[in-house]
Structure 1
Amino acid sequence: MKYPALLPFSELVNQLDQFDSIIDVRSPAEFALDHIPGAINCPVLNDLERIRVGTMYKQVNAFEAKKVGAALVAKNIALHIEEQFLQYPREWKPLIYCWRGGNRSGSMALILAKIGWPVVQLDGGYKAYRQHINTELSQLIGQFQYRVVCGTTGSGKSRLLQALHTQGAQVLDLEKLAEHRGSVLGDLPSTAQPSQKAFESAIWLTLRKFDSSKVVYIESESKKVGNLRVPDHLISCMRNSACISLQLPINLRVALLMQDYAYFISQPNELMKRLHYLTPLHGKEKIRHWQNLSEQDLLHDLVQELIEVHYDPSYLRSIERNFPQLGGMPTIHLNGIAELDFLQLAERLLAE
């Protein structure tokens, strides 16, 4: 094969693990929005440089913009070679891509190939990858049989998924992929949710590693996890799948939630802000009462009231509407929230 080789994503998708590096040469802002899973960012134009060259294209002309762009690209590629690539042997095999046209990725691919590395450039760039995701994700979702873990807030659904994963089960943990706990208090501290495209990429990457002959365990999510939308076909599959229902005594649910949301104890102002979001549902008087409980450090009482007044009624309305088959499915009563309790339950479920 002559290098740099220009290949379509359809030919590369099942060979991604064979590349030593997947290099995204787009700007950091483009990369942050979404990228091929496992890729590293080696921009040939940073964000400001990309804006500068793009503005010259529009306001001056393409020739002047290309001269400035070429100088910047050459300088940046040289820096990447010096700082990152000099350590690699002749056999190092990178896959390189940019947005679509191939100018940015083509520049790096040509130079690296001239050095002697077997470089492959993605034809059509990130846009070709994204088109593949849009086409394949729905088909991929439909290949699996799902078992949906249901249960009121604090019943341990996420912990059971973690235990199932530990036991070797196929688990699609949407909250983990979305970096959100799926409720008004669900934002993870100091962690921004990924973009919608990155979320879909993560779902695609997870499912394509699974065996379609085996069950996939998933939590009974709503259509959105935080600000991210769950793919419609996945929602449809979930709502037509077999379910299991977890139940915990109220005191254990309170204890579990206080463990999972412990960071609010050290950030009372953040808790106050989150409670304020519930004002349209419960009114100012109720919200002020809950804020008073927080200020008085009566967190056990606050969590129990949130469960009984907010979470449970909301969950029951949603589950009856979206999972009507749940009534005929098995209910599992847990009497402990230690890691061993969930591991033993996972082992029992898999044995069945």
Structure 2
Amino acid sequence: MYDFKSYDLIIDARSPREFNEDHIPGAVNLPVVDNAEFAEVGTLHRTDPLAAYQLGARYSLRNIARHIETHLSGVEPKSRILVYCFRGGKRSKVWQDVLETIGYRVERVKGGWKAYRRWVNEQLLVVPANFRYIVVSGPTGCGKTRLLSALQDTGAQVLDLEGLAAHRGSIIGAVPGKLQPTQKLFDSRLLERLSGFDPARPVWLESESKKIGQVQLPEALLAEMRKGQTLAVDAPMPQRVQLLREDYHHFEQDPAALIERLKNLRPLIGGEEFEQWEALAAARMVPELFERLMRNHYDPTYRRSILRNYPEIDASPSVSLQDLSSSGLLPVAQELRERFDRSE
């Protein structure tokens, strides 16, 4: 596959719908035809291919003219440009012909996005094994994600899977205002992140389940994580409750929405316990609700899961986080990096 970082501009010639499903990281969507035009040309092609090609050509030339005016006016003449479409066919060739006529150096992805997608799948089978992992493990609200952020601030190599997935990884983990990427786009972003790491240094990440919201982690990555060094993290319950109040502030404002998210757990935890949750939500006693959720559901559930996937967790190094603020976590992160990141 191509060294994507060596190009000054990568043009995705497909429709916005196709681009949003997945694209090469760093690519700019300059579609030859938009969603409606793409559908119109495709429908016409079934009954009159010649008319469809003529219509597509009119749309293409008009759209490319607009893109040149809005996106290429500042692109230097010696810039390297990479163009691709779905299979490396007509849409990318139209772009290539126009750009080469202007005088740019242009390459076209052979096989298009489909070839790129096959390559991503192949790479995710082997690339995770290039690294050694330090897996940060601990119950809900103990500051794992914040600790990873502090580690990244110290210069550690951090793979923030929940950040890539735009989800916090539990039944209440959807991030307000953010849609999760598609599985394909998550895979692309994951591979890009992994490819930027130095194999001589460890990669820090959180102990995740197979799925983060609606996206699934590659089996090869899960297997390598479970062979990695584990670090057990915990924090006092008041700190954990405060973290949930900050990170899930929207539920403190709307406790009924939290109960709605939790209702599928009722058969698992029993009607009596769920009614306690409902009563606390109705009284807007959200800190108390957060604590009860952790003690009676999340903590025992996490404990069972972590023992299943990391049976040696109790023998792992551990750290108790007394202050989950950024300033409180930074010295802990610095000490951990000095302790574990010895290869530098």
Q: Shorter-chain TM-score: what band? A: over 0.9
Report the TM-score when normalising by structure 2: 0.95
Q: In structure 2, what is the equivalent of residue 263 of structure 1?
A: 250
Q: In structure 2, what is the equivalent of residue 4 of structure 1?
A: none
Q: Secondary structure at the match of 2:43?
A: helix
> Contact 2:88/2:113 (CA < 8 Å) preserved in 1?
no
> Contact 2:255/2:284 (CA < 8 Å) preserved in 1?
no
Distance between the aligned counterparts of 1:127 and 1:172, measured in 2?
Answer: 26
Report the TM-score when normalising by structure 1: 0.93
> Contact 1:184/1:277 (CA < 8 Å) preserved in 2?
no
Report the Cα offset of residue 269 of structure 1: 4.0
Q: Which amino acid aligns with 1:329?
A: S
Q: Secondary structure at the match of 2:130?
A: coil
Q: Secondary structure at the match of 1:68?
A: helix
Give the number of equivalent residue pairs: 339
Q: In structure 2, what is the equivalent of residue 75 of structure 1?
A: 62
Distance between the aligned counterparts of 1:226 and 1:346, measured in 2?
Answer: 27
Q: Secondary structure at the match of 1:142?
A: helix
Q: Which amino acid aligns with 1:125?
A: G
Question: Are 2:145 and 1:140 aligned?
Answer: no
Distance between the aligned counterparts of 1:333 and 1:73, measured in 2?
Answer: 60
Distance between the aligned counterparts of 2:281 and 2:159, measured in 1?
Answer: 34
Residue by residue over 1:249-276, the C-alpha shift from the partner in whole angstroms, topping out at 9 and shown as x without a partner, is 1121111111111122233343232122
Distance between the aligned counterparts of 2:266 and 2:55, measured in 1?
Answer: 54
- Match runs of 1:151-190 below 5 Å: 151-190=138-177
Q: In structure 2, what is the equivalent of residue 310 of structure 1?
A: 297
Question: Are 2:321 and 1:329 aligned?
Answer: no
Residue by residue over 1:127-172, the C-alpha shift from the partner in whole angstroms, topping out at 9 and shown as x without a partner, is 1111111111221100100010000111111011101111000111
- Match runs of 1:1-352 below 5 Å: 10=1, 12-13=2-3, 16-58=4-46, 60-352=47-339
Distance between the aligned counterparts of 1:304 and 1:83, measured in 2?
Answer: 53
Please provide the CA RMSD for this pair: 1.4
Q: 1:76 to 1:336 in 2, by over 3 A?
A: same
Distance between the aligned counterparts of 2:322 and 2:5, measured in 1?
Answer: 43
Residue by residue over 1:297-335, the C-alpha shift from the partner in whole angstroms, topping out at 9 and shown as x without a partner, is 211110010001110111011011110021211121222
Where in structure 2 are there 5+ consecutive unaligned residues? 340-344
> Contact 1:147/1:244 (CA < 8 Å) preserved in 2?
yes
Distance between the aligned counterparts of 1:237 and 1:87, measured in 2?
Answer: 44
> Contact 1:275/1:291 (CA < 8 Å) preserved in 2?
no
Distance between the aligned counterparts of 1:265 and 1:300, measured in 2?
Answer: 8
Report the Cα offset of residue 238 of structure 1: 0.9
Q: In structure 2, what is the equivalent of residue 7 of structure 1?
A: none
Report the Cα offset of residue 183 of structure 1: 0.8
Q: Secondary structure at the match of 1:147?
A: strand
Residue by residue over 1:108-128, the C-alpha shift from the partner in whole angstroms, topping out at 9 and shown as x without a partner, is 110111011112211111111
Distance between the aligned counterparts of 1:334 and 1:88, measured in 2?
Answer: 49
